[in-house]
Amino acid sequence: DPDMPFVPSIPEDQFILVEEGDPTVIPCRTSDPSAQVTLTNSLDKAVYAFYDSKQGFVGNFPAGSYTCKTMVNGVEFKSEEFLIYILRATSQLPVEIEALKTVYKTGETIVVTCVVFDNEVVNLQWNYPGKVKEKGLIKLDDIKVPSQKLVYTLTIPEASVKDTGDYECTARHATKEVKENKKVVITVHDKGFIYLEPQFSPLEAVNLHEVKNFVVDVQ
């Protein structure tokens, strides 16, 4: 179709997510299989890569915007702009689980964090006693400086004794068969308690005018 040399692409095709180091396709396809197509970057400089009219340009491209150009009867046509985003994704999944404390009283707020390092392509699931009732609030912070890490925070407001148990996060690599899980045990008591350990006997004798110390360890 000389009036439509580039096959229209859907918006989803214009945003290309690529794992670091992986090849990708910039899908500017032509309605004429023999069309001569040039790929340019955001500086309007030509980028050299293998071209297949049924797929587009194939290669390892830096992050940025790209446009395809072709000539039809002396008239230049441009494709839509394609945006490539590079995602950090290591083959390993370094994961840590953190809890500021593991013993709570009824009514307090439980906070557990699961941190995934050096990876942006992750699916993470929580398992915890209150999951069936969807009691937990989950927040994600994507931190890139000084290094890449995903911080998933699970918050359980108004904890009860039923919230006692295993808190486990499972991270799965989005494209590779790699997973890692970490667990911490949380205990919720109905009320606070004090443990007393006196350092003296039930019956103590003291001489007249003697100074006597009575020591109690309190936990």
Quick: pLDDT tens for 89-102: 676 788 999 998 99
Residue 205 inside a domain? The answer is: no
Range in 151-160, 175-184, 203-212 the model is least confident about: 175-184
| Of 184, 188, 154, residue with least CA distance to 168 | 184
CATH code, 135: 2.60.40.10
Q: What is the pLDDT of residue 69?
A: 94
Considering the domain architecture, whether residues 80 and 100 belong to the same structural domain is answered as no
For the chain, how many residues are written?
Answer: 219
The reply to whether 119 and 49 lie within a common domain is no
* Same domain for 119 and 53: no
Please give the pLDDT value at position 12.
84
In angstroms, what CA-CA distances link 143 with 116, 120, 126, 146, 149? 10, 10, 20, 8, 5
Calpha distance 20→82 (Å, rounded): 18
- Residue 23: which of 52, 60, 54, 56 has the closest Cα? 60
177 pLDDT above the threshold of 90: no
Residue 198 located in a structural domain: no
> Which among 45, 74, 73 is positioned nearest to 61, based on CA atoms?
45
User: Which pLDDT score is estimated for 179?
Assistant: 86
Domain that holds residue 50: 11-87
- 79-93, 109-123, 202-216: range with lowest mean pLDDT: 79-93
Average of per-residue pLDDT values in the chain = 90
Tell me the per-residue pLDDT of 144-164, one tens digit each, with 9 for 90 and over: 888 889 999 999 999 999 999
User: Is residue 206 a part of any domain in this protein?
Assistant: no
Total domains in the fold of the chain: 2
Same domain, 133 and 176: yes
pLDDT of 110 > 80? The answer is: yes
CB atoms within 10 A of CB 57: 22
Q: Is residue 146 part of a domain?
A: yes
Query: What would the mean pLDDT of 8-12 be, rounded to a whole number?
Result: 85
Query: 18 pLDDT band (50/70/90 cuts)?
Result: confident
- Look at residue 182 in the predicted model and tell me its pLDDT: 95
Instruction: Please report, in angstroms and rounded to a whole number, the separation of the first and last CA atoms in the chain.
Output: 83
Residue 160: burial class (beta carbons within 10 Å; 0-12, 13-18, 19+)? middle
pLDDT, position 119? 83
Do 129 and 151 fall within a single domain? yes
